[in-house]
Amino acid sequence: STVYFTYTFGSDEYLEWVNLFDDVFAFFVNGTNCATVPGGPVSIDTINDTVNPALYRDNSFVSPPANPINIESDGLSVELICTAAVNPGTTNHLKLAIADTSDPILDSVVMIKAHSLSTTPPESCNDGADNDDDSLVDLNDDSCSGTTTPPPTGSEGIGSDGDAPRLLCVYAGIFKLD
């Protein structure tokens, strides 16, 4: 009756354009957006260095963080988990939407963790919380051997073995749960 997806939102618009352009992401499951954080939908205005800062990872080119990620985004979220109600045994609808507002040059991205569609709660591998109720947090959890984003600034590497991110690009689809 519930599905989970793990994803990361990133943008070139961090931090210079926060509260000026608001690139936003929505992850609809059966018409309900599950890509939300305190304050509204996932966007550069709801995840940044002052709003929900625990969900934000700096990736600035100008003053790189201790663990920069080799992508264009100047900032990104930690792994976020979309939790959505579904109807078992019937067709359910999935729709991903991203809006790059007001400018033609600064892009935003959404990365979905490979194999993260699940009916059991996953562990987000860098949010400092035990998401799957096994008493293990982040890289201490066996499910975090490879992660979508590196651990918080000052921690070591990407994943437990320096694994590169595993990404799956999805834009829309339907699925049936039996």
pTM, whole model, 2 decimals? 0.75
- pLDDT tens for each residue of 6-52: 899 999 888 888 887 778 999 999 999 999 999 999 999 999 999 99
Other beta carbons within 10 angstroms of residue 153's beta carbon come to: 11
Please state, in angstroms and rounded to a whole number, the distance separating the CA atoms of residues 140 and 54.
Answer: 19
Residue 152 scores a pLDDT above 70? no
Q: Who's near 141: CB < 8 A, 6+ residues apart?
A: 123, 125, 130, 132, 134
Asked if 115 and 167 touch (Cβ cutoff 8 Å), the reply is no
27-41, 102-116, 135-149, range with the lowest pLDDT: 135-149
